[in-house]
Structures are given as C-alpha cells and as structure tokens.
Amino acid sequence: MPLSRGEYYKIRGLLGIALIMNHDHVGRLFKVKKSFAFVLAAAFLFGTMEVALKLAGSSFNAMQLTFLRFLIGGICLLPFAMFDLKKRQYRLTVGDWAYFFLLGFVNICISMVLFQLGVMRTNANLAAVIISTSPIFTMIFAQFIVNEKFTAKKAVVLILNVIGLIIVANPVTLFSGKSAVSGILLTLVAAVAFGLYTALGKKRIEKIGGLTQNSLSFILGSSVLLVVLLVTKQPVVGGIQLSTLPLLLYLSIFVTAIGYYCYLKAIEVSGPSTASITFFIKPIFAPIIAFAVLNEAITVNLVFGVVFILAGSLVSIARDKYI
C-alpha cells in the first residue's frame, strides 16, 4: 500500500531526527575520548615529573633547573599561545603583563623552586602526593581572590585531603626523626604557593586563555630567576652536557610544555572539572614510576593517604546535587 504524502514526510522527519541524534551522540563520544586522552597524557607526564626532577637535581641546582625548564617550556608554548590570542582577538594590556609577572613570580620563583628543593630532600613519590593537594589551597585562596563561596562540599574535600596528607607524611616517623621534615615542609609550602598561583590565574584566564597565561608567566618568571642567578653568580647553563641534555629536554618539553598543553586542552574540550581528574590520576602514576625508576618503596601509609586524597578529588568533581 503506497504511503500518503503526510506519512512520507513524517517518516522522513523521524529519520532526520534519528540521524541528528546519532550524530550528536557520536560527537559527544568523540569529545569524551579526546578529553580522556588529554587528561591521561597530562597525568602521566606530570606523574613522571618528580622522578625526572630528582634525577636532574644531581646535575643542576634548584634555581637553575627551574629557570631552564620553564624558560624552554614557556617558549615551546608561545606559538600556540599567540595563535590562541589571535583567535580571541584580544590585545594584551600593561595590566595583563603585570598580571603575568605576578603569576610567574608566585609559580616559578616561589612554588617551583621550593618544590625542586623539596623533591631533593624527600622521596619523589611523597613529593608527588603532597603537591597533588594544591587544589585544596586553591579553594581557600579563591574564596578571597575571586569570591568563590566555600561550600560544604569544599569543606569535605578539605577534610579528606588534610587526613590524607597527615597519613602520607606519617607523624610517627616525623617526630622520631626518621623522615626528612625539611623536604616535606618545602613541598607543602610549594603546594600552598601553587594553589595561590592557580587561584590568581582564575581572574583573567577566561579572557586571556590558559595557553597565553601559562606561556608568558613561565617566561617572565624564568626571567626573574635569570637575574637572580646572574647576580648571585650561580651557573646558568653550567651542567648542560650530552649526558644531561635528554633529561633537561624531557622536563622542559614533555613535562612542562606538553604536559601543560594537554591539561589546558582538556579544560578547553570538557571544562575544568573534568580536567582536574589529571590531579586525581597523578598520585596513582607517580609512586609506581618512582618505584620502577628509583626503587622507592610504596608504603602502607602512602597507599592509605592517597586513597583519602583521591576520595577528596572525587568529591570535588562530583555534582553539587550529590553532596
């Protein structure tokens, strides 16, 4: 029996809707896969950071290594930053440059120099777990800097992370003198400073873009370290040899440039909540890599501490209606 014209148009309309829905589903699926790939890549690269820093620390001093890796990393990100800035049709102001300088000073000159010193004074796996708690400090600072409300959910995240941090640091070994207290404290202060850097970064990141913000703040922060290195007559390029160059390039290009690029692309594709899973996965990767490369033991308190920190990370990315 032939279809009437009305029935024909109904069927054609339904088929069209089905095709559109299927296309949207495929698009969402591709977006999820793309985001997961960026998150996984960033988490792995960031997870190798402490081991690489510890190995490189035997050839370079803390300030020199931080200067080199962020200068090279910032320059590597610069072409992508300029392209993104052009796409946004935004012209940088004097205030923006002052803002980049502040970000670079807090992140590079304070947080990352202290972190390098901390890594050299404690285990790489412990340093990795402590620095992964920086989001809790971001929440605290963001309340005052960008007026983000400190909600009940954030309080739960804070409590879980503090418990995890205490378990990881293991007060028993701290007070008995069996653990490097200075390394833990330096890494903790680095995490606080990185939390401040992230909170400060929220002020203009939507307008300027993460690539530009990170690239230029890396370069400006490194420039300050260069001045300090020259004034204090510390080595700037000393220690760079054929034997140390691969590790330096890995830290600069892969960990600093590509790692941050993947993290920022994850934010672009799926938003900051999904991208923050990077720091949820990093504490899992880091102890395994430290065990494989440096033969650092994965202790019971480290495992339990990571569980609490991961629980806090899960709560932080959960939807508000569930908390």
- pLDDT at site 5: 57
Cβ atoms within 10 Å, residue 6? 8
- pLDDT at site 246: 93
Per-residue pLDDT tens over the stretch 266-282: 877 777 666 777 777 88
Which residues are CB-neighbours of 215 under 8 A, at least 6 positions away? 74, 75, 77, 78, 80, 81
Q: What is the DSSP string of 258-320?
A: IHHHHHHHHHHHH-HHHHTTHHHHHHHHHHHHHHHHH-----HHHHHHHHHHHHHHHHHHS-G
Whether the pLDDT of residue 45 is over 90: the answer is yes
Name the residue among 119, 51, 123, 56 with its Cα closest to residue 292: 51
- pLDDT at site 23: 47
Whether the pLDDT of residue 167 is over 90: the answer is no
Which has more confidence, 160 or 274?
160
Whether the pLDDT of residue 236 is over 80: the answer is yes
Whether the pLDDT of residue 179 is over 80: the answer is no
- In the block, residue with structure tokens 């370069």: 219
Which has more confidence, 3 or 93?
93
pLDDT band for position 21 (cuts 50, 70, 90): very low
- pLDDT at site 299: 82
CA distance 105 to 107: 6
Per-residue pLDDT tens over the stretch 4-19: 555 555 555 554 554 4
Whether the pLDDT of residue 97 is over 90: the answer is yes
Which residues are CB-neighbours of 288 under 8 A, at least 6 positions away? 298
CA distance 130 to 306: 10
The alpha helices in the chain, defined as continuous H runs, are 5-47, 49-56, 62-88, 94-104, 113-121, 124-131, 134-145, 152-169, 171-176, 181-201, 205-208, 210-231, 245-249, 259-270, 272-275, 278-294, 300-317
Share of the chain above pLDDT 90, in %: 39
Name the residue among 74, 198, 93, 184 with its Cα closest to residue 136: 198
Q: Are 149 and 142 in contact (CB under 8 A)?
A: no
Per-residue pLDDT tens over the stretch 115-132: 999 999 988 888 888 888
